[in-house]
Amino acid sequence: MNQSDIKRLAVVGSTGSIGTQTLDIVERFPQLYSVSVLSAGSRVEPLVEQALKFRPALAVIADESKLPQLREALAPAGIATAAGPEALAEAMTRDDVDMAVTATVGYSGLEPTIRAIGAGKDIALANKETLVVAGDLVNRLLKKSPTKIYPVDSEHSAVAQCLVGETADSVRRLIITASGGPFRTWDAARLANATVADALRHPNWSMGAKITVDSATMLNKAFELIEAHYLFGIEPRRIRAVVHPQSIVHSMVEFKDGAIKAQLGVPDMRLPIAYALGCHSRLDQAAPRLTLEQMSSLTFEEPDLDKFPCLTLARTAMDRGGNTACVINAANEVANLAFRQGRLPYSGIYDVITATLDRVAHIAEPEYADYVATNDEACAIAAALVDKY
């Protein structure tokens, strides 16, 4: 930490849903946080606007063709600029960064996370795909680094809060809650004709488009079961998903004596974001308060695996291990985008993922280069499957 005790952040994906909510916390608590690096995928305007407001030392854009535009806008303000995935990853290692906030979407979160771990930076991890793709590798790297990972995902933040003061051997199981998404009450016939607009209408959360569609297929929950396994070191059979349509209980931990602890709050990501930025300390009113009325009806039900087959992919991924989850993630990135672009029907998402799984060679103990190769291969196969669908 620097002398003034202000924590200096590098926000990867600062213009997205998690990124902007992170900056909302920074803006409200300037005595605690400042920003050294801001970065976005390809849209220059919102990045420029953020940079002029938060004055980072460096602004990075992943899309290299946009660098001249970014430089022209920020050079007069004395803000350095860079472009491309390598520049982004390198930015995580800067001396003026105390914590990396990984708020980018999909596979693009892996490299910056690995570099942040290599440089011993703490990480507020929103990008769950990093742990889905390469959880084993990340955990191996963490063993050799002072880095600590603080989960931003609301369910994992809830589990972390429930585990405070507990010992590992007292935990019986983790109960990860799921809203059930927009299609929870739809029957199979209606679901077959689900449109992009339907999938993007999440009942409780306002999020980026990719994760909103992942929530509609419930693959997001499968990813969160995998994420929980790697974050908390609990075997897959002791982690289950339960549907809780109100999204007030953000997850629970059951202990060996029969006690269950739950964390409750309004569905507002600023609460888990603030808890992660503070390395599990609490800020005053990070998010609106929960009222007793909002807690008056809390219901729980079993997920319907026939209707949401993507949820079963968590078990497939963890049973087979190795590069399996990396394949699932890559195929989903392609299928999810194709669905959003109107090139694939809703039901095609699961079909493309499983067909890709059948075609990519299994690697039992992948190294970093194997994950890169698996991701490339699975993306290419999934793209061809989408074209033929």
Q: Interface with ligand NAD by CB under 6 A: which residues?
A: 13-19, 39-41, 43, 62, 88, 103-105, 108, 126-129, 153, 205, 207-208, 210-211, 269
Our CB check for Mg ion shows the closer of 58 and 174 to be 174
Residue 129 as a binder of Mg ion (CB under 5 A): the answer is: no
Shortest Å, Cβ 365 to ligand NAD? 25
Our CB check for ligand NAD shows the closer of 86 and 301 to be 86
* Residues shown for the chain: 389
**How far, in Å, CA of 230 to CA of 220, rounded?**
15
Backbone angles phi and psi of 121, in degrees to 5: -85, 140
Neighbours of 241 (CB within 10 A): 25
Question: Which of 12, 223, 202, 243 has the alpha carbon at shortest distance from 131?
Answer: 223
Selected binder of Mg ion within 98, 111, 153, 214 (CB under 5 A): 153
Shortest Å, Cβ 146 to ligand NAD? 24
Our CB check for Mg ion shows the closer of 98 and 153 to be 153
Shortest Å, Cβ 367 to ligand NAD? 22
Our CB check for Mg ion shows the closer of 332 and 356 to be 332
28: CB partners within 8 A, 6+ apart: none
205 contacts which partner out of Mg ion, ligand NAD, none, CB within 5 to 8 A by kind? ligand NAD
Our CB check for ligand NAD shows the closer of 333 and 355 to be 333
Token duo for residue 18: 């998690």
8 contacts which partner out of ligand NAD, Mg ion, none, CB within 5 to 8 A by kind? none
304: CB partners within 8 A, 6+ apart: none
252 contacts which partner out of ligand NAD, Mg ion, none, CB within 5 to 8 A by kind? none
**How far, in Å, CA of 200 to CA of 221, rounded?**
16
Q: Where are the beta strands (DSSP E) in the chain?
A: 7-12, 33-40, 58-61, 80-83, 99-102, 122-125, 149-151, 171-178, 239-243, 249-255, 260-264
Complete edge-to-edge strand list for the sheet that includes strand 122-125: 80-83, 58-61, 33-40, 7-12, 99-102, 122-125, 149-151
Shortest Å, Cβ 256 to ligand NAD? 29
Token duo for residue 100: 């990396």
Our CB check for ligand NAD shows the closer of 129 and 254 to be 129
Shortest Å, Cβ 163 to ligand NAD? 19
Our CB check for Mg ion shows the closer of 225 and 355 to be 225
278 contacts which partner out of Mg ion, ligand NAD, none, CB within 5 to 8 A by kind? none
Q: Which residue is nearest to ligand NAD (CB)?
A: 16
Stretch that binds Mg ion, among 94-102, 153-161, 292-300, 357-365 (CB under 5 A): 153-161
Shortest Å, Cβ 155 to Mg ion? 5
19 contacts which partner out of Mg ion, ligand NAD, none, CB within 5 to 8 A by kind? ligand NAD
Our CB check for ligand NAD shows the closer of 16 and 56 to be 16
98 contacts which partner out of ligand NAD, Mg ion, none, CB within 5 to 8 A by kind? none
The label of the residue with tokens 């909510």 reads 21
Contact yes or no for 14/103 (Cβ under 8 A): yes
Q: Which residue is nearest to Mg ion (CB)?
A: 153
**How far, in Å, CA of 326 to CA of 305, rounded?**
22
Our CB check for ligand NAD shows the closer of 156 and 355 to be 156
Shortest Å, Cβ 152 to ligand NAD? 6
Contact yes or no for 310/218 (Cβ under 8 A): yes
Contact yes or no for 123/102 (Cβ under 8 A): yes
Contact yes or no for 36/58 (Cβ under 8 A): yes
Shortest Å, Cβ 90 to Mg ion? 29
Which residues of this chain interact with Mg ion, rule CB under 5 A? 153-155
